[in-house]
Structure 1
């Protein structure tokens, strides 16, 4: 059964978790898995490897930075001759979203993990790891984000040429009130016609407005299932689904687990 990894089991109250990971050639670090309630940045330090995704395989090389979201299914494998070395920085999704909202940083929207090649980012990961060895604070996590995003400029890295109005509308849609309102609210935030929004989202992100909103709703639902004891019916309503049965169908299709099973397994998961 697919692993669902959970932040709290390894962070032990710390604001983030950082580790240096070395994977031998042709060895797989983890089975295909998702995250219950956290995002992570991976910074490749040396060697080469493969990022195994449900959509295919991406080559990893020194200087690559990868953002993995809770809903992304992935695993890492080392390649010959030297395997792969990377630094992993994981943090709660709720804090990450708060940072994006506070700084008005355009969200990275993509159907899968997002990769950017930026060798200058490696020292940023090294510093985050050094701070983690002591008594890391939330300030250390924020400093990691600001230093990294200064190099990556996510509004351009996610998809070159994404209109500013679209990036801002997509970021705003993560608010619960907007998620409940759905595509009509996305149209309102974007301030364009339905046809123009659809064309722009397909060109920028390769996704329809309806699929984009559904992805956000399922991502938020996964976080609520993993981090709270809120009844499933309430979570369905909170995230904008018209009924619990429809929510269950969508969630099970996306995660290959029912909401109840996802909640059960996420409570037993761990961060490697």
Structure 2
């Protein structure tokens, strides 16, 4: 993968004129060696937007807020301009990377979300879906692909969403058996009024251990996962049946309509009845 030939591509900012929410300015793959490569990002003039740079081979350096980070293969930084940071090639090193320079009002959402998740630097395997997507797109552009209206934004959205998903829930080469067993148990039993303590007894695992492993593998706590199963079933019943709230609550593993409604409102922001009405469900009085 890292043996692809280096090349950079600039793109006409027609999407900026169309007020597109995301658009590419330029991207490429570069190799730096035995040269001066040093950027202070607090004053880059007209260089604006967002920059994500991912190390494929060699070593790069990134400084921000008094800390220096060595960027080895699999490491990246993500910044906006201007920014109180610096990236550069250290003496007697080489650095091969790809970069994506983009802009658009939706970029702010992704940038802020990434700052919460990882800060300005992060690590992700070169086998991840986001990285593979970029390399595929890079090769397509090298082979002559041309962007039409909003096309570069479609690529950027897919790339950034994949990146966030993989950073939020890192892929594991070996899945934890107790997590798989717990998910299967909840999928089978979510309709019943039985709790996680009983599940853990049946699976022979402690709840604290399961909670840690479950969150590590899925990004959710077991109770959040169980709640999502119950509410998804409740949504289907609200939209496709005329069942009352007491019946729906019982069907989804809740002890009564009051508690069911409380959980529903907390997660959905509206009551079950409002959800049914808003989505043109059956209008049986509840």
Instruction: Give me the TM-score of the superposition, normalised by structure 1.
Output: 0.43
Between structure 1 and structure 2, the one with the greater Rg is 2
